[in-house]
Structure 1
Amino acid sequence: MKIHDWLQRVWYGSARGGWLLVPLSWIFASVAGLRRFFYRTGVLPVTRVHRPVVVVGNITVGGTGKTPLTLWLAERLQKEGLRAGIASRGYGGSASGGPVVVQTDDDPAVVGDEALMMACREVAPVAVCRRRADAATQLTAVGADVILCDDGLQHYRLARDLEIAVVDGVRRFGNGRLLPAGPLREPVSRLAQADWVVCNGGAPETGQIGMRLAGDTLYRLADGKVATLDDFRGRSCHAVAAVGNPEPFFSLLRDAGIRVVPHPLSDHAVPSLRELGLSPDETVLMTEKDAVKCRDGAGFDAWFLRVDARLDPTADRMVSAIKRLCSNGGRRRGGY
């Protein structure tokens, strides 16, 4: 965590030494730019599937709310009579070879924690594969009307019909530098080429759709008992978060009047409450993504908080655009 913490301070704070990474950022920018150019010009092959593809991604490293937005879209499209399928790389999982349609009892060490979490919501079939194009093809075979590609903005091998970029409205783009000197996967100018930009938290800029993450219901890992945040008001609780940006989770708990003892872990880490030095009589609150992979949580007073995306009414236009894609059979983007 020490290098991770130092990088976070370089990217979003005022830690010294970040200038040493700038030459590496120049190399990263050159390689990323060439890669995108090769896909755009056909030097590298692009795979097209027989369903409209909607990519949900971001231009920064870490959590910006892509997965909650993907689930929101899947549920909203379901209400519109469309069956979405979610294609994921299955990051953190060991699955290799062909695509795998995730089942709710799959091992997160194989299919990945985020993919399993989405599958457990049961709003859309989820397929994982290192080649997202293969996952998308598998989803068409199981009856998906539209493919939602979670965290696929830079996965140019898969042709897309519509791009949605998610921005952290609080941290924005940090120091504005590309990896590894900054948090950017691509320059900020890349956002102008996305069809829609969703701002998670903070104040959305002109043309952006506002989004926030909200949750009040918790579930106990041992038996599924349901509680609300108000049930923990005034209590001291350990908070575990192995996500890209754990601070919003901790802040949500503090805003609910909970005295938080934070345990931030690296993204996709497998939390062990015993290894954290916690005892079974202490109350532990964690994210939904952590709950699907916490193997010893059932032996503790451990709960996970379900968090959902809440979007501004202007998101209706984005949903309508996806519906038009499905009725028209897909509109291929002219470039990236």
Structure 2
Amino acid sequence: MNNDREARWLEAWYGGKRWVYWLLPLEGLFRGISFIRRFFIRQYCQKKIPVPVIVVGNLSVGGTGKTPVIIALVQYLQSRGHKVGVISRGYGSRAPEYPYVITAASSAEQAGDEPLSIWRATGCAVCIDANRVAAAHTLVQSGCTLLLSDDGMQHYRLGRDIEIAVLDAARGMGNGHCLPVGPLREAPGRLKSVDFVIANQTQLDGEVDIATGAYHMRLQPRHWFRVKTLERLPLDTLVPGTRVHAVAGIGNPQRFFDTLARLNLAPQPHIYPDHHQFTAANFAFKAPLPVVMTSKDAVKCQPFASPNWLALEVDAVIDKKFWPALDAALKHLEDSSTSAPSGPVL
């Protein structure tokens, strides 16, 4: 989907355009096929993994902040003694083979932007395969004791013990309709069946939203780093008021531009589709301004980056009440596994 077409659909879904309702018959077909597919796969094709599996995903098309949430989860679970592995489809990756486990020699072209970003931030095992079940078994065989599946809510072949849905609080669920009338992959009622909902918003008030049961989260800038060398730099490296070329190939670029504005910078936006494969030609700007981007985009630009290009690293700051709730859910899984009667190995 090119920039113009993608922008038109997003504007329709989130801007209340009425022409999309001519597509209601197609939405009915989409919902019916999705329901039958989900029922059939869960009933007959779902594969149970011998370690706990946490799926982190969303209902809507586009970015909601899943990658920072995955990173925060991995770091927390590592601090609790778990050997964590991450499963990813690796959208846009061109690995030499699948399943593919990321190493220090992996490039963004081989691994994909989001998986490589997760690996660099956490050092945990990350395995890429469109067949998430195969990726899960690869990670278990490597010694992982707990798995996170990135963007796997609709991949029902992979058994899961905990589901976490991430929502963009600003966009919500658009017009509340499924594709193609709205941005949803599944009906809004699907949220009632997940274990946790995390709402990505600008401000964090530390309270649980009683209406939705969502835990609030915000993205907090941590530091800059040079795209070319990964050298870390403080947030005040760019003085307030600096005009910058702000490059974003993510699901919700406006959130990145808003973050730059809160850092008192003056971004000149350059928007590309999510997972865009950047080339040096994309940076042939006329005005000689500093170039900044997200850490997700940086992994793809490192091979041809100029020494002064900067990327912003952010942390997902999640409501502090979420973590004890997650611990309790994992403890319940552990207790259930311990008390379950043993049976023949199939």
Q: TM-score, normalized by length of structure 1?
A: 0.92
1:216 corresponds, among 222, 227, 244, to: 222
1:76-115 pair list within 5 angstroms: 76-95=76-95, 98-115=98-115
Question: 1:179-200 deviations in whole A, cap 9, x for unaligned?
Answer: 1111101111000000111111
Given that residues 222 and 300 in structure 1 are in contact (C-alpha distance below 8 angstroms), is that contact kept between their aligned partners in structure 2?
Answer: yes
Given that residues 215 and 319 in structure 2 are in contact (C-alpha distance below 8 angstroms), is that contact kept between their aligned partners in structure 1?
Answer: yes
Q: CA deviation at 1:16?
A: 5.0
Q: CA deviation at 1:322?
A: 4.9
- Distance in 2 separating the partners of 1:259 and 1:81: 42
Confirm or deny that 1:205 pairs with 2:209.
yes
Q: Which residue of 2 aligns with 1:293?
A: 300
Given that residues 272 and 295 in structure 1 are in contact (C-alpha distance below 8 angstroms), is that contact kept between their aligned partners in structure 2?
Answer: no
Q: Which residue of 2 aligns with 1:309?
A: 316
User: Are residues 236 and 158 of structure 1, via their aligned partners in 2, closer, same or farther at CA, if it must alter by over 3 Å?
Assistant: same
User: Are residues 98 and 216 of structure 1, via their aligned partners in 2, closer, same or farther at CA, if it must alter by over 3 Å?
Assistant: closer
Given that residues 83 and 144 in structure 1 are in contact (C-alpha distance below 8 angstroms), is that contact kept between their aligned partners in structure 2?
Answer: yes
Runs of 4 or more consecutive aligned structure 1 residues displaced over 4 Å after TM superposition:
none
Given that residues 74 and 123 in structure 1 are in contact (C-alpha distance below 8 angstroms), is that contact kept between their aligned partners in structure 2?
Answer: no
Question: 1:157-214 deviations in whole A, cap 9, x for unaligned?
Answer: 0011111111111110001110111110111100000011111116863122111111
Letter of the 1:205 counterpart: D
Residue 36 of structure 1 aligns to a residue whose secondary structure is helix
Residue 87 of structure 2 aligns to a residue whose secondary structure is strand
Q: CA deviation at 1:231?
A: 2.7
In angstroms, what is the RMSD of aligned CA positions?
2.1
User: Are residues 299 and 97 of structure 1, via their aligned partners in 2, closer, same or farther at CA, if it must alter by over 3 Å?
Assistant: closer
Given that residues 279 and 300 in structure 1 are in contact (C-alpha distance below 8 angstroms), is that contact kept between their aligned partners in structure 2?
Answer: no
Residue 156 of structure 1 aligns to a residue whose secondary structure is coil
Q: Which residue of 2 aligns with 1:259?
A: 266
- Distance in 2 separating the partners of 1:185 and 1:330: 32
Q: CA deviation at 1:280?
A: 9.6
2:19 corresponds, among 11, 17, 20, to: 17
Q: CA deviation at 1:295?
A: 4.9
Q: Which residue of 2 aligns with 1:69?
A: 69
For these two proteins, the number of residue pairs brought into alignment is: 329
- Distance in 1 separating the partners of 2:35 and 2:131: 20
Question: 1:244-263 deviations in whole A, cap 9, x for unaligned?
Answer: 11111100001111010001
Q: CA deviation at 1:327?
A: 3.3
Confirm or deny that 1:231 pairs with 2:237.
yes
Question: 1:131-169 deviations in whole A, cap 9, x for unaligned?
Answer: 111111111111111010110111100011111111111
Given that residues 95 and 129 in structure 1 are in contact (C-alpha distance below 8 angstroms), is that contact kept between their aligned partners in structure 2?
Answer: no
Letter of the 1:210 counterpart: H
Given that residues 161 and 330 in structure 1 are in contact (C-alpha distance below 8 angstroms), is that contact kept between their aligned partners in structure 2?
Answer: no
Confirm or deny that 1:35 pairs with 2:37.
yes
- Distance in 2 separating the partners of 1:280 and 1:125: 41
Question: 1:10-48 deviations in whole A, cap 9, x for unaligned?
Answer: 011144532233222222111111101112332xx1111
Q: Which residue of 1 aligns with 2:341?
A: none
1:42-191 pair list within 5 angstroms: 42=44, 45-95=45-95, 98-191=98-191
Q: CA deviation at 1:328?
A: 3.8
Q: Which residue of 2 aligns with 1:282?
A: 289
- Distance in 2 separating the partners of 1:163 and 1:108: 28
Residue 117 of structure 2 aligns to a residue whose secondary structure is helix
User: Are residues 299 and 276 of structure 1, via their aligned partners in 2, closer, same or farther at CA, if it must alter by over 3 Å?
Assistant: closer
Question: 1:222-252 deviations in whole A, cap 9, x for unaligned?
Answer: 3334333333221100111101111111000
Q: CA deviation at 1:96?
A: 7.6
1:245 corresponds, among 240, 247, 252, to: 252
Confirm or deny that 1:318 pairs with 2:322.
no
For structure 2, list consecutive stretches of 5 or more residues without a partner in the other structure.
339-346
Q: CA deviation at 1:109?
A: 2.0
- Distance in 1 separating the partners of 2:21 and 2:101: 44
Residue 215 of structure 1 aligns to a residue whose secondary structure is strand
Confirm or deny that 1:7 pairs with 2:13.
no
For structure 1, list consecutive stretches of 5 or more residues without a partner in the other structure.
332-336
Q: CA deviation at 1:296?
A: 5.6
Letter of the 1:278 counterpart: F
Given that residues 283 and 300 in structure 1 are in contact (C-alpha distance below 8 angstroms), is that contact kept between their aligned partners in structure 2?
Answer: no
User: Are residues 321 and 92 of structure 1, via their aligned partners in 2, closer, same or farther at CA, if it must alter by over 3 Å?
Assistant: farther
Question: 1:43-73 deviations in whole A, cap 9, x for unaligned?
Answer: xx11112111111111111111111111111
More moved, 101-110 vs 263-272: 101-110
User: Are residues 81 and 329 of structure 1, via their aligned partners in 2, closer, same or farther at CA, if it must alter by over 3 Å?
Assistant: farther
- Distance in 1 separating the partners of 2:320 and 2:275: 32
Q: TM-score, normalized by length of structure 2?
A: 0.89
